[in-house]
Amino acid sequence: MARMKEPRDLEWDSAADPSVLPNIEARVPALLALFRGEYAGRELLVHDDRRFTYREIEEASARLACWLIDSGVAKGTHIGLLLPDDERFLTSWLAVTRIGCVAVALSTLVTPAELQRIARHADLHLIIAVPGFMGHDYVA
């Protein structure tokens, strides 16, 4: 497998060149295997003053995936993600998709009425959410 270049080593014009990407099957399990292997110790996400490696995100998503399965979630279940764009979103998206569920990203600016409409329309069986974000109280 060709070595993937670090983003900082790419020129902007070559960033869209598919030859710089790892040659893996375009499925979440293949991506997770890459996370566990060659890239495990590398930083995947930097958010504010927090840093996360590929290994940390992969392991956290595995724990959440196990919890979802233990809770009765089955392949094909539609799960909403009402999360800010940080490690919680990435971890949850990976957990949901690695077990064959459908992840539905929800805006953190959603109103209660919009959330009800989206939940019905998207046939959501579960919503993974933070209690609140930027003044929005999702619990209420």
- Express each pLDDT in 45-85 by its tens digit: 888 888 988 889 889 999 999 999 999 999 999 999 999 88
- Under 8 Å between Cβ of 6 and 14: no
The backbone torsions φ and ψ at residue 46, rounded to the nearest 5 degrees and listed phi first, read -120, 120
What's the predicted TM-score (pTM) here? Answer: 0.76
Least confident of 11-15, 19-23, 32-36, 87-91: 11-15
Q: Say what the pLDDT of residue 105 is.
A: 95
Give the C-alpha separation, 99 to 82, whole Å: 19
Q: Say what the pLDDT of residue 77 is.
A: 95
CA 90 vs. chain centroid, Å, equals: 3
Confidence of residue 97 (pLDDT cuts 50, 70, 90): very high
Q: Say what the pLDDT of residue 93 is.
A: 94
Q: Which two tokens stand for residue 83?
A: 């999360």
- Cα diameter, the chain: 50
Q: Say what the pLDDT of residue 19 is.
A: 65
Under 8 Å CB-to-CB from 78, ≥6 apart: which residues?
101, 102, 104, 122, 123, 124, 125
Under 8 Å CB-to-CB from 39, ≥6 apart: which residues?
4, 54
* Burial status of residue 128 (CB atoms within 10 A of its CB: 0-12, 13-18, 19 or more): buried
Q: Say what the pLDDT of residue 47 is.
A: 81
How high is the mean pLDDT of the chain?
82
